[in-house]
Structures are given as structure tokens and as C-alpha cells.
Chains A and B, each alone.
Chain A
Amino acid sequence: MNAQLIATQVLNGLQLGILLFLMSAGLTLVFGIMNFVNLAHGSLYMIGAYLAAAMFNGFDSFALALALAVPATILVGLAVDRIVLAGLYTRDHLDQVLATFGLILIFNELVRFAWGSAPVYINVPPALAGTVELFGFPYPAYRFAIIAVGLAAGLLLYLVINRTRAGMLIRAGAADAEMVGALGVNIRLLNALIFGLGAGLAGLAGVMAGPILSVQPGMGEPVLVLTLVVIVTGGIGSIRGAFYGALIVGLIDTLGRAFLPAVLDALANKALAQAAGPAIASMLIYLLMALVLALRPHGLFPVRVA
């Protein structure tokens, strides 16, 4: 174990965290403001990845793929919202869970129909194929780009939420959705805005994740579960909670998987480390979530006041 290994894993953890942040920021708003349980959010991530793969393999330009796939994902998201989900906003959570669950199945099969079951690979764009020097050692440039783009998106989100009128409406909606409606704000427009924002962020995450993860049907589900853990830990409706929660989850998951077996080996013995290490490492973030909830049932940064 050396400094470079630790630093690399920390950066990997941050990179995973940033991806999770992009996924959670949109979804936590959908949960908190629209009071809508959207399990199909992971499918939007998957669609972003597939669209980027198609465009990249078609046009051979990652930048173009990025520029087109994200808006395309937003359009898909808005279309699904209009056609299927609009009638569900007033229904109870169970209905929303089941309907979006059905949507997951539909999207997985659509994608399988269009592109087959085998994983699709996107190559890392040549411009970012090298490494960058960070703190005196090399780190893959593409992963660093993910962190940079994600932070930039986060900053943009922060500015939009805190410095624009639309953002003010979103913040008001997060604190008290009914009140905002009662004030005469066009709720449908606000909902479309929030849903579209979430779809765009998920699509962006999918596009960026494409080259480093394999693009295949069902890739959205594991990410969805991680996203839900982040949202619950950070606090439903809270973007700040999504940010810190995502970074914590990303770091703990990555560092845990990388180092826990070694730590157990040092503390106990090899047999225990081999038997229990991977198991505990994969369960770490859930145990963290349980711990946070036991102490603060509404998450680390709850939005609702009373």
C-alpha cells in the first residue's frame, strides 16, 4: 500500500461520487418537489449511454455525441413524463413504484431490441486517452475529466438554483410544494422543468460513464440503487445532501472495496479477510445508510422544516 494507490482510489471514489451526484441531484428534486417515486431514472442514464454510443460510433466524435445525447435524453424523459407519468403524480407511491418499475422493463427490452444483449463499447475519446499529473503521479485523464465536468455541472446547478428565478421556484417547491401551487405558479411547467433537468443530468452521467463502464441492458439498476442510497442518506429534496451524500457514498464504496480486505488482513487474519472482506465491503454503504438513518431519520441535510 503506497501513497499513489491510496490517492488513485480516493480520486476514483470522487469520480464515482460525482457520477452519483449527477444522478441524485435530479432525482432528489423529483422525489422532494414532485413527491414522485421515479424508479425509471436509471433507465434515463442507460438511454443517455446508448444514445452516446450510437452517435459516437456513427459520427466518431465524442464531443458531438455528448452535445446531442444529453438533449435527446431530455426529450425522451419529457416524452415519457407526458405520456405515462403525468397521470400518476396524484396517485399514491405504490402506483408510481409499479408503473416506473414496468417502465424499467420496457426500456431494457427496447434497448435490447435496438442494440442486442451484448455490451456495447465506447472508446475513450483520443484527446482524453492519456494521463494527467496530479500531486506528482499519473491519473487517467478521462476520469479526471469526469470529475471536472461533474463539478462544473454542479456549479452550474448551484448557480441556477440560487441565482435565477426558476431556481427560486425550485427551492420554494422543495420547501413547500403545495404552497407554490397555491401561489399560482404554473405547476406543470415547474414539474416539466424539474423532470427535464433530472433527465438531462442522468443522461450526462450516462454519456460520461459509457467509456469506462460497459453499456448494456440493465446497467441503470445498480446505479439506481446507489442513487437511492445517496438520496436517503443526504435527505430527500436536498441538493446539498445529494452532493455530500454522493461524495461520501462514492468514497466509502471505492475505498472500502479497495482496502477493507487489506485492513482486515492486517487487523485479524487472512482467512477472515478473504471470507468476510469482500462481503462487508459491498455492504458498507448500506450499513452507512442504516447508521445515518438510525441517528437522523430524515437524512443528513433534511429540507422540510417542521
Chain B
Amino acid sequence: MSASARPSVGRAPSLGEDVAQRQEGRSVSASARPSVGRAPSLGEDVAQRQEGRSVSASARPSGFAKLAPSLDTPATAGSGRRAALRRALPAAAVFLALCLVPAVAYWIGQPFWLGLVARIMILGLAAAGLNLVLGYGGMVSLGHAMYLGIGAYSVGILSAHGVEAGAAHLAVALAIGGAVAVAVGFVCLKTSGMAFIMITLAFAQMFYFLAVSLKQYGGDDGLTIAMHSRIPGLDLENPYQFYLLVLGVLAVVCGLSHRLVHSRFGMVLRGSRQNPRRMLALGFPTFRYRLAAYVLSAQIVVVAGFLLANLARFASPSYMSWTLSGDLVLMCVLGGMGTLLGPIVGAAAFVLLEEFLSGMPLDLPPAVADLVRTHWLGFFGAFVVAVVLFARRGLYGALTAGGKADD
């Protein structure tokens, strides 16, 4: 690459300057050179170079200008502070509701809800991690649940050997999760489309079998975890403190994801989903960015696994099953893949529907209610099919749709 193509240290040359540099062979008058401190706009530069031509570019009415429509519909309904605030409203509402749950649970004396909503948040966290690559990156991974298992088993196995420090649990989980994600991601991302889906599924199954074969750690029956992870300053035995920890982690991850999605990296990721061919043609080596996104999303799911192990005090191979991966994908779709909070809303819908169909009293004739309760998975499956056929945008996505598909 020629020297003029590299941006100069500290300041990239304007398009006009770059053009000027490339035409060093042409006779350009001294006045055309950019004066110190101010770079010419491209229009100016071109006009200067067309001194030989009869009409300057700016004076000629262009065919395009004649066709330019006078309407200028903005990409979203208004930009600027007010619109941004309006967009943030549903998100604020969700987090406010989540903050109120402990208070409500305490007041009505039903701590069961704490555990339920904590589970929703943990699954929502995992789904949000998945959504980084699914919704924003366009990679349908049916294997992300294996990172849940890695997080959970890190806690379980270390606990079984007497290591109880939460920091150790998390560090080991992230180290293993990172290594696995790099290796698995490297192989999977060489493929695309349906091959990618199937390969991620196969790898999840591989880890499932690995966990099942760990007889000394429970094997098929799973591993009971004796003590919660020890975190200085927190008592995870206390359901209220645990709940607040989960909420805090969720809030932080959502905030970081928001920055990520709008950053340069996020633009590359989202562009790779919309038009991978074009990204390459622009000059992006997309593989490394997609791999980085995959690893990041995996690590978020690992953290969710760590929290899950502490919630359930249990690590099971079923955490790694591809059906759970499918559930995570479903949560993203249910809630809306193009938004950050969609997966969390989807997780809530998923868990509540599960509870409703399988346990809660139904106002139906007993025989029918019994049927639903025993075969609730079948009705759930029918619901899934219906959602796919009729309601693709998801619940939260439909709520916040305002023209932009990407939040």
C-alpha cells in the first residue's frame, strides 16, 4: 500500500487531500494545495482540479439534485435528547420493575418470587449474551448453553474440592470458557448458515457427554453444590442479597452491551449480519470480529452459569443440552432480537409460561387442566410454532419498534 494511503499520524487526510496526493503527476496549481491548517473539502478540491473544464462542478445542476426528493424522513422518529430519552423509557421501566420485586416479595411474604425472578434474570442474562451474536451478529448458535454448564461446573467442581472463593470460581470459569470459546468459535465460524447451526449444536452435545461421563462429579445425576461461592461483603445465602447481585450484574452487562453495540466494533458486527459479502468488499477481515463477538457472548453466558450454580446449588449436564440452547434462542426471539432488553423480556415470558402451563391452577375443567399440566411441553411446542409462524418480531421488539431494527 502506498504511503499516501495511510492516514498520517494524528490526523487522517480528507478525501480531497488524498485525491490531491494521488494526482501528483497532474499539473495542479499552487493555489490548489491545501493551506496550512485547513483541509479542502472534496468539492473544492475537485473544482480546483477542473480548472481546465468549462463549468465548475458546483455551478452545474446535477441530474441527481433534480431528482432529490424534498422529504427527508429521519431514520428514527426524531434524533437528539428527547428521542433518546423516549427510547430509554421501556428499558427504565423494566429495571424499575426488577428493583421493586424484592420489596414486593418481602411485603407479601412470598420469597418464592425472589427465586423465580432471579432465575428469570439469570436466564435473561444468558439470553442477552447469546443475543450479541444471534440478534446483532446474525449467528444462530445452538450451542451456547454449554457455557452455562462451564460456569456452573466450575463452581461445582471447585466447591467439591473445597475451594469456595467466588473469585476463584469466576476466574476459572472465565478462563475455561474463554479457551473453549476461542477453539469452538474458530472451527464453527469457518462455516456459515445451516452448517454453523448444526456444528454449534454438535459441540454442545459433546460437552454434554463430557459432563455426563464425569462420574466423580455426579455424572448424569448432576452435582450438588454444598456451599455458595464466597464473595467478600456479600452473603449469597441471603436470597435478597443474591437477587441484588444478579440484578447488578444484569444491569452492568446491559449497559456495557449498549456501548458495545454502538461502538466501532458493534457496527462491524451488525454490518456483518446485514451483508457479510459487502463487509469483505469494504476491506473488513470479518472473521476476527465475529470470533471476538462469539467469545464475548460466551463469557457473558459463563457468568450466568456461575450465578445459576449459586441459585440452584446444583450443576447438571442438562445445563449444556442443546435443548436448553434452543430455549435461549427462543427467549431472544420471543422478546425481540433487535433490542438489548428483548432477551430479558423473552426469558420472563418463557419462564412464566413454563410455570403457568406446568404448575399453576388453571380455570378449566379438571380433565383438560390435567392434560395440559402433564403434557405442557407439547402445548409449549405448539406455542413456539405459533410464535414463529405469526409473531416474529417478538414482544419487546414490537413495543419499541420505531423504524430502526437495531437498537
Contacting B at CB under 8 A, from A58-99, are 84, 87-88, 93-95, 97-99
Interface: B330 (CB within 8 A) = yes
- Whether B201 contacts A228 by the Cβ 8 Å rule is yes
The answer to whether A231 touches B377, judged by C-beta atoms less than 8 angstroms apart, is: no
Which residues of B are found within 8 Å of A93, using beta-carbon distances? 140, 193-194, 197
Chain B positions within 8 Å of A97 at CB level: 140, 142, 197, 326, 329
Q: Which of B140, B203, B209, B384 has a CB less than 8 Å from the CB of A105? A: B384
> Which of the segments A144-152, A162-170, A193-201, A285-293 contacts the partner chain?
A285-293
A8 within 8 A of B: no
Check A282 against B392 for contact (C-beta < 8 Å).
no
- Taking a contact as CB atoms under 8 Å apart, the answer to whether A286 and B388 are in contact is no
Knowing A99-B384, A101-B326, A282-B213 touch, does A108 contact B378 (C-beta < 8 A)?
A: yes
Q: Is the CB of A105 within 8 A of B381?
A: yes
Shortest CB distance B48–A (Å): 46
Contacts of B382 in A (CB 8 A): 102, 106
What is the CA–CA distance of A139 and B49 in the complex, to the nearest angstrom?
Answer: 88
Which residues in chain B, 376-407, are within 8 Å of chain A measured between CB atoms?
377-385, 387-389, 392
Once bound together, how far apart are the Cα atoms of A283 and B146, in whole Å? 14
A113: CB under 8 A from chain B?
Answer: yes
Bitwise, B179-223 to A at CB < 8 A (1) or not (0) is: 000000001001101110111011101100110111110000000
A110 contacts partner chain B, Cβ-Cβ < 8 Å: yes
Q: A106 to B382, alpha carbons, bound, how many Å?
A: 6
Interface membership of A181, Cβ < 8 A: no
Residue B277 lies at the interface, judged by CB distance under 8 Å to chain A: no
Residues B195 and A236 in contact, CB atoms below 8 Å apart: yes
- B153 contacts the other chain (Cβ, under 8 Å)? no
A14: B residues at CB distance < 8 A: none
Is A125 located at the chain interface by the 8 A CB criterion? no
B242 at the A interface (CB under 8 A): no
Name the residue in B205, B322, B330 with the highest tally of chain A Cβ atoms < 10 Å from its Cβ: B205
| Inter-chain contacts of B262 with A (CB < 8 A) | none
**Contact (A102, B381) CB under 8 Å given A278-B213, A293-B190, A297-B191:** yes
Interface size on B, residues (CB 8 A): 44
Contact B194 A236 (CB under 8 A): yes
Contact of B375 with A by CB under 8 A: yes
Known A87-B389, A279-B210: A106·B198 in contact at CB below 8 Å: no
Decide if A225 touches B195 in the complex (CB within 8 Å): no
Judging by beta carbons under 8 Å apart, are A286 and B389 in contact? no
Point out which of B329, B384, B387 has the most chain A C-beta atoms below 10 A from its C-beta.
Answer: B384
Indicate with 1 or 0, residue by residue over A145-181, a CB within 8 angstroms of chain B CB atoms.
0000000000000000000000000000000000000
Q: Are B202 and A225 in contact, CB atoms less than 8 angstroms apart?
A: yes
In the bound complex, residues from chain B placing their C-beta under 8 Å from that of A279 are 209-210, 213-214
- Scoring B residues 302 to 342 as 1 if CB is less than 8 Å from chain A, else 0, what string do you get? 00000000000000000000110010011001000000000
Highest count of chain B CB atoms <10 Å: which of A35, A97, A104, A229: A97
B-chain residues with CB within 8 Å of residue A98 when the two chains form the complex: 326, 329-330, 333, 384, 387-388
Confirm or deny: A31 has a beta carbon within 8 angstroms of a beta carbon on chain B.
yes
Contacts of A294 in B (CB 8 A): 187, 190
The complex places the Cα of A35 from the Cα of B193 at a distance, in Å, of 10
Check if A105 sits within 8 Å of B380, measured CB to CB.
yes
Assembly CA distance A108 to B330 (angstroms):
18
Per-residue contact bits, chain A 108-128, to B (CB 8 Å; 1 contact, 0 not): 111011000000000000000
CA distance A282 to B320 in the complex (A): 15
Is A102 a contact of B383 with CB atoms below 8 Å? yes
Chain A: residues with Cβ within 8 Å of the partner, total of: 43
Q: Mark A264-306, 1 if CB is under 8 A from B, else 0.
A: 0000000000010011001100110110011001100000000
Interface membership of A232, Cβ < 8 A: yes
Q: How far is the CB of B153 from chain A (nearest CB, A)?
A: 13
> Do B199 and A289 touch (CB < 8 A)?
yes
- A113 and B379 CA atoms in complex are apart in Å by 12
Interface positions of A from 230 to 263, Cβ below 8 Å from B: 231-232, 236
Contact of B198 among A84, A231, A275 (CB under 8 A): A231
- In the complex, chain A residues whose CB is within 8 Å of the CB of B323: 101, 221
Whether, in the assembled complex, A103 has its beta carbon less than 8 Å from a beta carbon of chain B, the answer is yes
Give Cα A87 to B326, complex, Å.
21
A20 lies within 8 A of chain B by Cβ: no
Given contacts A236-B195, A279-B214, A297-B190, contact A113 B384 (CB under 8 A): no
Of B212, B322, B385, most A-chain CB atoms within 10 Å: B385
Q: List residues of chain A with CB within 8 A of the CB of B216.
A: 275
**What's the nearest-Cβ distance from chain A to residue B14, in Å?**
40
Q: How long is the Cα–Cα vector from A94 to B333 in the complex, in angstroms?
A: 9
Q: Which chain B residues border A298 with CB–CB below 8 Å?
A: 191, 195
Are A225 and B380 in contact (CB-based, < 8 A)? no
Contact (Cβ within 8 A) B201 A95: no
* Structural contact, B378 and A106, CB atoms closer than 8 A: yes
Distance between B131 CB and nearest chain A CB, rounded to angstroms = 12
**A residues near B377, Cβ cutoff 8 Å:** 105, 108-109
CB distance from B164 to the nearest CB of A (A): 24
Complex Cα distance, B361 from A266, in Å, reads: 59
B residues 358-382 in Cβ contact with A at 8 Å: 375, 377-382
Cα A35 to Cα B382 with chains together (Å): 23
Q: What are 14 A-B pairs with beta-carbon distances under 8 A? A: A37-B197, A37-B198, A84-B389, A95-B388, A97-B329, A98-B388, A99-B385, A106-B378, A109-B377, A112-B375, A279-B209, A282-B210, A298-B191, A298-B195
Closest 5 A/B residue pairs (Cβ): A109-B378, A105-B381, A102-B384, A286-B206, A279-B213
Please list the residues of chain B having a beta carbon within 8 angstroms of any beta carbon in chain A: 134, 140, 142, 187, 190-191, 193-195, 197-199, 201-203, 205-206, 209-210, 212-216, 322-323, 326, 329-330, 333, 375, 377-385, 387-389, 392
8 more A-B contacts (CB under 8 A) besides A99-B384, A102-B388, A283-B206? A98-B333, A105-B377, A109-B378, A225-B201, A228-B202, A278-B213, A282-B213, A294-B187
